[in-house]
């Protein structure tokens, strides 16, 4: 078991990120009290996690404020701060999407909440079908040139959308995307057939979210049993709707088949799930969330783990046909719908 954090380059850029990133999507500002959230962030940093991911929309903008507070006093150059723009952050018709107006205003608001003068990686949180792509890309390029943003990326885009954007960036001489933030786990493999090959070719690294399939791959949800009290599946504020898709008997039964593989590797099932996504060489970092410091301490032990080909095959065999591999499953809704 290796517990020292390791670091990978983000795409073809010169910036390194920690193999495990700390994300505060469903915790800070809503599910977890501010004090507990700060303890988790400090624990993550002390254990070598230098990459912190958030978004303007998380907890109705409160998550960024909590993260800014948690990182106060830590040398700014020693960590990488990631945030995103797209989803509604207010009631106004322009408080959403990827218009130049919303991107610039949202970036300035994020900088204030995060208590910093620059964002290391600013990401388009989905693809905006209403705004001309060139308008969004031009605004992102201006943010880099102004020094407010160092690098840019996107989340949950399909291969066609990525290609379209890169063509415009190259034609206009804009700064290029260096990162993609998709959902990716042993159960959700939709990026493998199209997004990953294109990303490899174009120098884009994956910073993946939900490597534990919202907690299902930890094995704590048992077939034929009610979800444990206090778990994500019972908390409507923290993604109960999202996890429900995985709480099918055949999935929960198959996941239990991973227990002996994890045991043989000297890992918990959660660590095995994170280690699995990190075996993909196009993955730069896997985002984990936590509600208490003990979870952070457990999850970081997945860093640096090398699974054997036999172990990878055994995981495939245990899950059978259940993983989703359909590239068309990557979709962006209309933020104004």
Q: Is the pLDDT of residue 257 over 50?
A: yes
Read off the pTM: 0.94
First to last CA, the chain: 48
Mean pLDDT of 18-30: 80
What Cα–Cα distance (Å) separates residue 253 from each residue in 18, 185, 258, 278?
Answer: 33, 17, 10, 24
Give per-residue pLDDT as tens, 223-234. Answer: 888 776 666 655
* Structural fold of domain 7-213+279-305: TIM Barrel (3.20.20)
Per-residue confidence band for 1, with pLDDT thresholds at 50, 70 and 90: very low
Give per-residue pLDDT as tens, 91-148. Answer: 999 999 999 999 999 999 999 999 999 999 999 999 999 999 999 999 999 999 999 9
Q: Is the pLDDT of residue 240 over 70?
A: no
Give per-residue pLDDT as tens, 133-159. Answer: 999 999 999 999 999 999 999 999 999
Provide the 3-class DSSP secondary structure of residue 321: coil
Q: Is the pLDDT of residue 88 over 80?
A: yes
Out of 45, 58, 86, 122, pick the active-site residue: 58
CA angle, 137 then 121 then 106, to 5°: 65
Give per-residue pLDDT as tens, 188-199. Answer: 999 999 999 999
Query: 79 an active-site residue?
Result: no
Query: Over pLDDT 90: what percentage of the chain?
Result: 82
What Cα–Cα distance (Å) separates residue 99 from each residue in 129, 235, 336?
Answer: 11, 33, 12
């Amino acid at each position: 078991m290796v517990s020292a954090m390791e670091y990978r380059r983000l795409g073809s850029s010169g910036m390194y990120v920690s193999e495990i990133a700390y994300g505060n999507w469903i915790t800070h500002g809503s599910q977890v009290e501010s004090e507990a959230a700060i303890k988790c962030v400090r624990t993550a940093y002390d254990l070598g996690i230098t990459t912190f991911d958030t978004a303007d929309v998380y907890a109705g903008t409160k998550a960024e404020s909590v993260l800014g507070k948690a990182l106060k006093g830590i040398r700014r150059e020693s960590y990488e701060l990631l945030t995103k723009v797209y989803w509604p952050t207010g009631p106004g018709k322009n408080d959403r999407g990827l218009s130049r107006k919303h991107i610039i205003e949202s970036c300035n608001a994020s900088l204030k909440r995060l208590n910093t003068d620059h964002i290391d990686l600013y990401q388009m949180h989905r693809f905006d079908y209403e705004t001309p792509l060139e308008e969004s890309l031009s605004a992102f390029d201006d943010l880099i040139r102004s020094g407010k943003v160092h690098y840019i990326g996107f989340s949950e885009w399909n291969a066609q959308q990525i290609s379209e954007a890169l063509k415009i960036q190259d034609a206009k001489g804009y700064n290029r995307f260096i990162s993609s933030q998709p959902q990716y786990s042993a159960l959700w493999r939709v990026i493998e057939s199209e997004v990953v090959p294109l990303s490899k070719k174009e120098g884009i690294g994956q910073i993946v979210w939900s490597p534990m399939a919202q907690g299902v791959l930890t094995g704590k949800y048992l077939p034929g049993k009610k979800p444990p009290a206090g778990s994500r599946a019972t908390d409507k504020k923290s993604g109960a709707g999202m996890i429900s898709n995985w709480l099918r008997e055949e999935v929960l039964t198959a996941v239990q088949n991973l227990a002996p593989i994890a045991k043989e590797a000297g890992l918990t099932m959660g660590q095995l799930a994170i280690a699995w996504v990190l075996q993909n060489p196009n993955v730069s970092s896997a985002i984990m969330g936590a509600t208490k410091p003990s979870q952070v301490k457990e999850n970081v032990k997945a860093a640096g783990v090398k699974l054997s080909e036999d172990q990878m095959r055994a995981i495939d065999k245990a899950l059978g046909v259940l993983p989703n591999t359909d590239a068309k499953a990557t979709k962006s809704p209309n933020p104004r719908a």
